[in-house]
Structure 1
Amino acid sequence: MDSFHQIDTSINILAQRNKIAEKHYGSSKIQGIEILSYVNETIVHSLKINYYQGVCTGYRVLALHYSNIGSEEKALKYLLLCEEYIKNCNLEEINYAHLYNAYVVYYSDLIGDQEKAAYYCKLSIEKSETLDNKVMLMCSKACLGAIHLKLQNHEQGIELTNSTLIYYEAKNDHLSCMYCYNNLGEAYYNLNLIDKSILYYEKAYKLALEEQDIVIIEDSSIGLSRIYSKNGDFTKAIKLLEKTIQIAKDNKVVRVETNAIFELIDIYISKEDLNKAESLLVQSKKLVDEIHNRLVDLHYNERKAKIAEKLENFKEAYYSSLKCQELTKILESENARNISNNLLKTQLNKTRDRLETIFKIGRELTTMNVIDDVLIEVTQKLKKLMDVDFIGIGEIVNDSILFNHCYEEENFLTPVKYSLTDKNSFAVWSIEHQKELMLNDIESEYSLYIKETNIVNSTAMGNITHSLLYAPLIVKNEIIGVFTIQSYKKDAYSSEEFEIFKIIASYIAIAQVNAYQAEKLKNLSLIDTLTNLKNRSGFTSGFDKIVCNNFSIINSVSLIMLDLDHFKLINDNHGHMAGDLVLKKVGKLLSEYENSVDLVARIGGEEFAILIVNKSINFIRTLAEDIRYSFENTKVTYKNKQIKITTSIGVSYISVDKNKLSLFEELYYQADKALYSAKALGRNKVEFFNKKDTSN
């Protein structure tokens, strides 16, 4: 290629090639050239002229491509190569934000670990804010919104997605807009707001056809087909998916073609057209083998089991289920994640109605994030299969088992705790022996498991339990709790129902982990990942809880604001890595004061805040001076060089008037004024708010 001879021209060409490749990862070709050849050629020419930025971007595009087509090993390989070039070649800091977003795609779309994806989203957001890069910041926020939606945190997800969509629409950024449209379509579908869902899915689909974005064509067409099917318009749904399959086939995007075929199979199963479903399943086998991905194998065998069950070929259903269980265990082991296993360990003589009910329970439970909702759903569905008078989920907390989610006669019950050493607890026995148990006559069978029965066979509402089932909740070989259903009747449960119960227990375990991860993600959004202190949102939220919600017992409120002196010079002289190291050190230093104060947070780049309530002004003065002194005597070593740090501190102190709520804004205003004074007086000082300063 003659155009590569001139260095400047070559760099521009290579940069443009990478930009084009970033828009087409997941496709088979770019400008008539196989995408892998296209990107690898760009990388080779970049290496020849020492254009390491081009190499780094090329590797990142390959990582995104392999994440999209389902190749975990290769995706991770190129992510690590990209990171290596950023570090070793001292590339611009913005590359870290791009890399973190690539990790988001890897963990969210390929691995299924939304918590890890959210972590990298946070890193990208913080890096973008530090670099004041609005474009990358909005991209990262859009990714975080998508993760919230995947975890069923609809309110937060929709809010983030809408805020980024406004920005992208103003910029006329079609590529980013269609991703937002698609995510909103899915969110509103999950909320059963069908009109809104169709509106956004159709917008996404139209733009995707114009841009020839195969991934969004897939996602939006699948979303629309589900709505059409839900409304009974199967013909429209089938035509749309057949068009997507043909587009994917023409572009040789095997993963998209396979996913669309799977969706089409589901429609034919729901229509009871099992011949077409079976024919498509056979057609998909070649594609599944070509992709060679365990998660895809899992989805294939799931549908194979469903079709076999519908045809009452229980032997085929049973062996397909075993295959899926095997794949699930491998995936959990390799990727440290939980797969929503919608498959059944069914016996040959189970009726089709029972199988369908279990499938519905599994599908619905593994998307729930609230355990109380899980209990209601399980109770309603299980009552179609067996006797359920009492149902409970216990969580292991330290050395106890806490039943804080119990449901009886349409009432939620008061939590009950048992020691893990309690020998009169069936729950403890199940956990200790890691086994399920079934009793159909507690009076005569209890002695096989516990010493006494008089304290365990009556429910919280005074009813006598005669039959019960228990199962430990196990995730990744770790017991996280226990699940039980109980009946007032004797001989309530058969061995067949016991097997069903075990399957439901596995779904309950997944639902419990999902609920925990959703709560953890919510808390993660209030933490600054660099310093591990609260961020600005965490600080304002904490202020509301500590001050506003307890105002009747608040006598005084103090706000200490700290600003690192000459922090910009640290970044300029030593680099942003050194600046990050200093901020981490500050976070560690301030965390040592957390037991003495009410709240500590990083509220800006190098700005920190401390909230203290009901302490004397002398205590505040001593504390502020102690913090200043600690900073003054702290040094950070970076590349064998010592970096001195000091801080300017502004303090506001308000004795609360019981007839008037002291607003956060008043505290902030006073502390900020005092901080300004501390800087004006030469920095490395503590200054309290003085009313005379208001004239400034």
Structure 2
Amino acid sequence: MNSKFKYENELNKLIECEENFAFFINLAKESVRTAPEAFKEVFDNVLEFAKANNLNISKGWSYYYLGWYFFDLSKYDEAIENFLLSHDVFDTHECKKGVIYSCNGLTNIYCQIGQFMLANEWGLKGIYLAEEIGEKEELVILLINIGINYIQMKDYYKSKEILNSIKMLNHELTKRQIVACKLCLAEIEINIGNPAIALVYLDEVSKMDDELTVDTSDAFKLKGMAYVKINEYEMAKKEFVKSYDFSNLQGYTYEKCCALIEWAKLSYLIKRQHEAINVLKEVADIAKSSKFIIILKDTFHLLYEMYKELGNHKKSLRYLEEYISIDDQIYDYEQNQLMAKMNINHTKREANLYKLLYDKTELLSSIGQKIISNLDLNSIINIINKEIYKLIKTDIFGIAVYDTTMEEVAFNFVRGNSDLIETIPFNINDESSFGAYCLKNKADIIIGDVEQEYSKYVSSDYVNHNDSKFEKSRIYTTLIIKGRVVGVMTAQSYMENTYDTNDLNTLKIIANYSAIAIDNAMSYKKIEDIATYDNMTGFLTRFEIIRLGEIIYEKHRNKHNSFCVIMIDIDNFKSINDSYGHVYGDRALNKVTSSISQCIRTTDYIGRYGGDEFLLICPGADQKEAIEVAERIRNTICNNSYVIDDEVTVNITLSLGVYEFGKNDMSFIDGVKMADKYLYNAKKGSKNKVVSKLKSKHTKN
């Protein structure tokens, strides 16, 4: 039966008074999750009826509840569209309560898809209106959701302050709201190192939560996380299984993914690495299809870290790039959405509660997204320097990156709003260095007058300055990731008493973003190097030598320069492996490639093309010059005896094919194929020779 006719009486009551929409609100609360398709049919018909009869408030509520329908189906674009339509209708017709609810819907969905700045913007607008019209119930809901948003941002202390501020409202919370607050506080305590307190909150929830809801799944997961923190791994696993099973049974896909991620972390912790990776890959598949972008981002980062620790650098690099790509998507989406007209009142108020929420969130989030997506240290420094003056008074900004294998560290300073970077080294054991003090003590510093306060941190060797441009005020904070110090950051001013704890906290937030970015940059560089160079020979990988060859080929073709390639193969290398084993074979390969390296020109490039086959690129060399290089290599190898063990010495020869590119060549690979053809001709004969188009054979020694 069509719901339009089923609820005809209730629809007609809307014409009499739109406050009768309360019937449909109660219906929505009962059926949005239990009978979603029936719910959709009802509200589609209500929306149609409201449009036909110019019932604008009913139209706004219809859009609002349809937004939640699409939210539960992970159809986030449709959900956002409906919440925005709801907001515009309520705003146009001055229904402030409706505006508050639509703001809450947008806060939830933007938090879900990682748009934390947008979530806060809409949340703040809703809070402002709720306070203005005295709607404490809606104010509580918005504060809880913004608290959740800050948990997602991993700003746990700010979230805790927001949630604790709810007590100041003197408003009686519903049981559902109390459960939500306790779950949030439990998650905060777990993440700031107080799992015992978290378990108290969770026990209180278990006594209250007599309804099977999403909160039930979340409580199981959080209890598992708390048990992990106190090393009760078997107990933790049981809780993660409960969370997964319950979420799976109820069809809570998002919560199921969250349980799986924590389960994977536990599996990795107890050395079941491959199980953990397989679970995360399953999560990634679900997250992609369901568009859970934050879960997908976190999953890619975990896979990157796990593969990096396992030494699988190729896969680690792949997932790091996936992670950065997702981060870029989040940032790009945010910038596009901010261009939309949102009509948000940005008036700052002095009340501490709201000051918490306004505290530089927008700019910090924007800077953070730029920093974390960057993989170059100089770029990171310049990004911060160009934006930091909007947050902190800064005449000089600097970062020092700490390599634990070296005692010397270098501060990279930028003076003023400039791209110029000044590098000033200091020793980690230097007792006259503020940077060394911070690194060794993992300490933060606020200095109002450096000449009066330096002795608190550094020795009397510190040099006083009479220059009026001397940096009198300074704040320092360490860059720490996973308990490991990776550097120190400072902001400095020529004026005295410039900085306070708020400035230091702002610098610490930027430092947190920077620590992740610097760690990623260093890991990316290391992995990129490993991915670029073959571990056994030190030569370029097949992928890299071909990529490089294609670049050189384009230059050769444009400038008509001479350009040759040489294919090199070790003769009868299989017999070495068969006779002595692969360990000795690897040693022989290493010694031969070391000899080859000494024979090539400084302008040449060499890569490992296959197992015992190599590709040498000779830019600027014609065929005659390339043959001379090839002969030099062949002679060096065949005239050497290679000791690979006390009792094992082998003699090795090479076959080589030389090809010079001509104007009719269509691609770099075409030339490689020709060199390979000449190599085949060399090996088909007596081997240990060079073959080219110029001479089909060259004399062997």
TM-score by length of 2: 0.47
Bigger Rg, structure 1 or 2: 2
